[in-house]
Homo-oligomer: A and B are copies of this chain.
Amino acid sequence: MSDDSESAFPAATIEALLAPAVGRLAPNTSLSPLPYDLNAGVPDRATLPAAGLLAAMQRALDADAAGALTYGGQQGYEPLRAWIAARESQEGGLDVTSAQVTLTSGSAHGIDNIAATFVGEGDIVVVGAPTYPGAIRTFRARGATIIESPQDDDGLIPSALARVLDTRRMTGQQAKLLYIQPNYDNPSGATLPVERREAIVALCRQHGVLIVEDDAYTGIDLDGPPPPSMFAIAGGRGVMRVGTFSKTVATGLRVAWITSQPEIVQKLVFMRFDNGASPLLHRMVLEYLRSGEYEPHVEGLRDLYRERRDASADALREFCEPYVTFKTPRGGFFHWLKLRPGLDARTVQAAAAEQGVAVTPGTGYFATPDSAELNGADRIRLVFSALPPEELREAISRFGRALEQVASSTR
């Protein structure tokens, strides 16, 4: 058999066999090897509750080892869904049941589950400009046409969204989904005011557009609780709210959920192809949530990240002020810096790398980075979550030097 084995199926043959979607997608983001990483939106490593999770796993296995170690179904462990539904009910003032929650392997997987269920070739998905690039590639992989709607410092602008939706309707290609992160948007950091939430829910209802409310950073509330969720404002109809324990417990868990109206949840569960997520993780997480350790843990995270946000904002004003402006975010992990006219984001990124600092140019956060206007060439995303205040200060002073260098060479 193996005479021709080494030459069989060369790379060009594999390329030719790929699904058409492969060629449409940008690569996934990766971690930086630079000494000061202000690029990856990851939680602080020292805060991970390893002991609490290990004890929770022990309790889960003691209680029902066979249940924890056998297929748990596509929708996921019901008591954990009930916990999430109860919290949702309490926060949003709706009566949400466990049948309205489905568990996913991280919120990114939740977005993929939504895309599998609602997006066919050529379907329109509206996203903010900027927005989370992982969502763009997930929707595109299912054949979506991505249409951008601009953000300002307060997030998505309802009047602009209205124009986008009207235009789509006039062309006979109605949008199907609106993808939005109303709290602590990645990358803009914006928190959508309640009036905008109401206006956007009303607009989407009028146009028959389903809202994908990505709440990946909710919980990392640095200035008190955010406004009511769009799910709550919409009375639980026409919204898929995606939540996760990644930021409040650990990104390594891959335990997240989608809350929606029952008809939608049934379809999301139907469009699963993984025989469900790990019931061991679901039970471990629930035991941890019930331990009494979770609430003080999240409080501690808020204190920690608030300190880092404030230290980084101070350092940005001290070291970078002539070159950048920004609005301090109410939560999450990011500053979204606007560069002074004449400074280009990729040039700044390269100069910062020379100083040992990884930052992210804004260009990666736009669905159409080659457009003349909304292209992110005047923006930098700077992560404040992963480093302690002293290191942040050092990193940002180096970043300031990089800005100065670029400014002086382009002057």
Contact B71 A251 (CB under 8 A): yes
Query: In whole angstroms, what is the CA distance A252 to B281 when docked?
Result: 9
Contact A8 B238 (CB under 8 A): yes
Contact A105 B108 (CB under 8 A): no
* B residues less than 8 Å from A210 (CB atoms): 9, 17
Contact A19 B120 (CB under 8 A): yes
Given A11-B263, A108-B274, A254-B277, answer yes or no on A237-B5 (Cβ-Cβ < 8 Å): yes
Does A20 belong to the interface (CB within 8 Å)? Answer: yes
Which residue from chain B places its CB closest to the CB of A67 in the assembled complex? B252
Distance (whole angstroms) from the CB of A329 to the closest CB of chain B: 21
Contact B120 A21 (CB under 8 A): yes
Which residue from chain B places its CB closest to the CB of A255 in the assembled complex? B278
| Contact pattern, A 103-143, Cβ under 8 Å of B = 1, otherwise 0 | 00110110110011111110100000000001001100110
Given A116-B21, A116-B141, A237-B6, answer yes or no on A50-B69 (Cβ-Cβ < 8 Å): yes
Does A28 belong to the interface (CB within 8 Å)? Answer: yes
Task: Say which size band chain A's interface belongs to.
Answer: 35 or more
Neighbour of A5 across the interface among B13, B141, B236, CB < 8 A? B236
Contact B270 A28 (CB under 8 A): yes
Contact B271 A22 (CB under 8 A): yes
Contact B141 A22 (CB under 8 A): no
Does A261 belong to the interface (CB within 8 Å)? Answer: yes
Which residue from chain B places its CB closest to the CB of A278 in the assembled complex? B254
Distance (whole angstroms) from the CB of A120 to the closest CB of chain B: 4
Distance (whole angstroms) from the CB of A330 to the closest CB of chain B: 23
Q: Which of A11, A112, A264, A274 has the most CB of B within 10 A?
A: A274
* B residues less than 8 Å from A277 (CB atoms): 105, 254
* B residues less than 8 Å from A278 (CB atoms): 105, 252-254, 278, 281
Query: In whole angstroms, what is the CA distance A142 to B264 when docked?
Result: 20
Does A331 belong to the interface (CB within 8 Å)? Answer: no
Query: In whole angstroms, what is the CA distance A109 to B280 when docked?
Result: 17
Query: In whole angstroms, what is the CA distance A202 to B134 when docked?
Result: 39
Neighbour of A109 across the interface among B68, B252, B274, CB < 8 A? B274
Query: In whole angstroms, what is the CA distance A237 to B10 when docked?
Result: 9
Query: In whole angstroms, what is the CA distance A280 to B249 when docked?
Result: 13
Does A346 belong to the interface (CB within 8 Å)? Answer: no
Does A377 belong to the interface (CB within 8 Å)? Answer: no
Given A68-B252, A278-B252, answer yes or no on A273-B14 (Cβ-Cβ < 8 Å): no
Residues facing B in A65-89 (CB within 8 A) are: 65-66, 68-74
Given A13-B208, A134-B275, A273-B112, answer yes or no on A18-B69 (Cβ-Cβ < 8 Å): no
Known A19-B118, A105-B274, A253-B278; further 17 A-B contacts with Cβ < 8 A: A9-B210, A19-B117, A19-B271, A21-B120, A50-B65, A50-B69, A54-B61, A106-B274, A106-B275, A112-B273, A112-B274, A116-B141, A134-B275, A141-B273, A253-B280, A254-B276, A278-B281
The 10 A-B pairs of least Cβ separation, nearest first, read A5-B235, A50-B65, A45-B66, A69-B250, A109-B274, A69-B252, A9-B238, A112-B273, A8-B237, A48-B69
The contact sample of 7 A-B pairs, CB cut-off 8 A, is A9-B205, A14-B267, A71-B252, A112-B273, A134-B275, A254-B274, A278-B278
Residues of A at the B interface (CB closer than 8 Å) are 1-2, 4-6, 8-9, 11, 13-14, 17-22, 25, 27-28, 30, 42-43, 45-46, 48, 50, 53-54, 57-58, 61, 65-66, 68-74, 105-106, 108-109, 111-112, 115-121, 123, 134, 137-138, 141-142, 176, 198, 201-202, 205, 208, 210, 233-238, 250-254, 261, 263-264, 267, 270-281
